[in-house]
Amino acid sequence: MTRYFTKDHEWISVDGDVATVGITDFAQNALGDITFVEVPEAGKAVSKGDTAAVVDSVKAASDVYAPVSGEVIEGNAALEEAPELVNTSPESEGWLWRMSVSDAGELADLMDEAAYAAYIAEL
């Protein structure tokens, strides 16, 4: 499984042609306490850069963009009752949705862990 990162602070873990997407620890820390998460429904087709989920915090409502194109397999149903999982475990239990990857070539535009760490160090 390989994990990639976007400049908008999403992470995407790819296993074959299936990927899991969430927001990074840096993102949840910047947003503050998360109060509500709207995840996409299964079957929804998303293009790279589309708004796929919305994360509400006490400070703001933020769009989460699809890092690559594909079709949503499932949203994380646990977040409906426990949106705080995105705060406590952003890069594991607080995942937002799973999706198919229609064009693995799009992953080449994303950052690996080291590149993302260097990116946020400059922010």
In whole angstroms, how close is the CB of 35 to other proteins at the nearest point? 4
Long-range contacts of 91-95 (CB under 8 A, 24+ apart): 91/11, 91/22, 91/24, 91/25, 94/22, 94/23, 94/28, 95/20, 95/21, 95/22
Q: Is 58 in the site for other proteins (CB under 8 A)?
A: yes
Q: Is 59 in the site for other proteins (CB under 8 A)?
A: yes
In whole angstroms, how close is the CB of 62 to other proteins at the nearest point? 8
β-partners of residue 36 are 56
Of 84 and 93, the one with the shorter C-beta distance to other proteins is 84
Of 35 and 102, the one with the shorter C-beta distance to other proteins is 35
In whole angstroms, how close is the CB of 112 to other proteins at the nearest point? 25
Q: Is 17 in the site for other proteins (CB under 8 A)?
A: no
Contacts of 105 (CB under 8 A, 6+ apart): none
Pull the structure tokens for residue 22: 């969430």
In whole angstroms, how close is the CB of 61 to other proteins at the nearest point? 9
- Mask of contacts with other proteins, 80-109, x by CB under 8 A? ---xx-------------------------
Contacts of 95 (CB under 8 A, 6+ apart): 20, 21, 22, 76
